[in-house]
Amino acid sequence: MRGSSLRSVPLTAGALLSLAVGLVACATPAEPTPTPPADISAVVDVWEQLSGADASTDHNAIVEVWNTLDSCFVERETLDVEALGAAAIDAMTSQATVLDQPDSEHLSLVAIEAMLDVVDDPYTTFFTPDEYALYSEDSEGKFGGIGATVGLKDERITITAPLPDTPAERAGIRPGDVILAVDGESTEGWTVTESVLRIRGPEGTPVRLRVLHEGAEEPVEIEIVRGTIEITSVEWRLLPDGIAHVEISSFSSNTDEQMTATIEKAIEMGVRAMILDLRNNPGGLLSTTVNIASQFLVDGLVLYSVDGNDHRIEYEVRPDGLAPDIPLVVLVNNGSASGSEVLAGALRDHDRAVLIGENTFGKGSVNLPHNLVDGSGLYCTIGRWYSPDGHLIEGEGLAPDIEVEPGTDEDQDLQLDRAVEYLQSQVAAGAP
């Protein structure tokens, strides 16, 4: 079973890794059907019989989840309502054989998660009321956790990035680490969201992780004391030859403001070229991503999305960017996901930057949270992101123009060195 379940989702903020959608509305079918199909009605009937509860189809989470999937899910044509209904009934019946009096909320959760197992989309997940409230708190910008982001890679919960100066980084958590267990419980079969909810928690409380470091043969046990995570998402420094190295760790609500201040300061200091470092950047807010891309572009598209009705929504460059001509390199790796892939793809498709590093993560789903009547929620994949030239990000990611593996020496950054070398040649070629 999937278990209660965000993604590419963070152990820090819910907006990260799944490019949060404030600008995309859920697709609505031309003729919505408020009455559920027979297979879903049968699920509700069994739920009533086993729990002793009285269902209202207008306010039943099982029905609401189905209606949301039927109207919004990006691949609605693949939804097999008969299989969904059968899986839900089997799961509830199995629970009823081991419980004297099944709780109605528990049975509802069991049915919904059995349905979502059939849907088989890692970013379409269900939240109980408590989980949805926790998810909603992420927008406040402060949260208790270890300070890392996770994704689902090869069906395993995998760290995409520990955030700088956080409990996770200090404890030795690294990009590519596989989380095998949390507090002694195996993560096998967990969704990204479930891992986030299980690892996060109040400041000062411990969580014990069984971690398989990338390239290691044996896992290690790491205990981390959670902290309050606050993110400064833009940091920069001036390198020789007038090259600015700008690291963007996520796209939060004020990252575009931080980026504007950075560009203004860099221009004031006479910077001649810029490296945008998106390595281990898990993504964030769509509006912020579009705003930052627009600082370096003149016009055209930043990206577009396509939903389950083949409805295309375009996100255009916003006017008056501060740095439309400055030579650019974008650093990426397999921890660059979602919003960072959108930004990198836009800059490359507009011939504004080359990508240096490694293939990106491949998180290109449009995800939208739906608040259900009982306070629970469904986080539903409603579309796919595409770069301006039509490159599908989901599952594929972006291949770099110049591939550079990371150095084995912690004091050596071969990818950054190659970016500096490339820009030095560009600046020299354009010198008067």
Task: Please state, in angstroms and rounded to a whole number, the distance separating the CA atoms of residues 18 and 200.
Answer: 17
Residue 361 backbone dihedrals phi, psi, to 5 degrees = -65, -40
Catalytic residues: 338, 349, 363
Residue whose C-alpha is closest to residue 422's, from 347, 327, 333: 327
Task: Please state, in angstroms and rounded to a whole number, the distance separating the CA atoms of residues 427 and 273.
Answer: 7
Q: How far is CA 148 from CA 14, 175, 307, 343, in A?
A: 12, 9, 30, 21
Task: Please state, in angstroms and rounded to a whole number, the distance separating the CA atoms of residues 333 and 316.
Answer: 26
- The length of the chain is 432
Token digits of residue 80: 């097999």
Task: Please state, in angstroms and rounded to a whole number, the distance separating the CA atoms of residues 258 and 337.
Answer: 20
Query: Do the bridges between strand 353-357 and strand 402-403 make them parallel or antiparallel, or are there none, so unpaired?
Result: parallel
Question: 19 and 385 in contact (C-beta within 8 Å)?
Answer: yes
Residue 85 backbone dihedrals phi, psi, to 5 degrees = -65, -45
Helix, strand, coil share (%) of the chain residues, nearest 5: 35, 25, 40
CA 381 to chain centre: 11
Residue whose C-alpha is closest to residue 8's, from 363, 251, 299, 353: 363
User: Which ranges of 350-413 does DSSP label H, i.e. alpha helix?
Assistant: none
Residue whose C-alpha is closest to residue 296's, from 359, 246, 358: 246
Residue whose C-alpha is closest to residue 289's, from 253, 265, 243: 253
Residue carrying structure tokens 């000062």:
204
Task: Please state, in angstroms and rounded to a whole number, the distance separating the CA atoms of residues 378 and 114.
Answer: 14
Residue 356 backbone dihedrals phi, psi, to 5 degrees = -125, 135
Residue 266 backbone dihedrals phi, psi, to 5 degrees = -65, -45
Handedness of CA 343, 153, 333, 13 (dihedral sign): positive
Provide the strand spans (E) within 80-155. 125-127, 143-145, 148-153
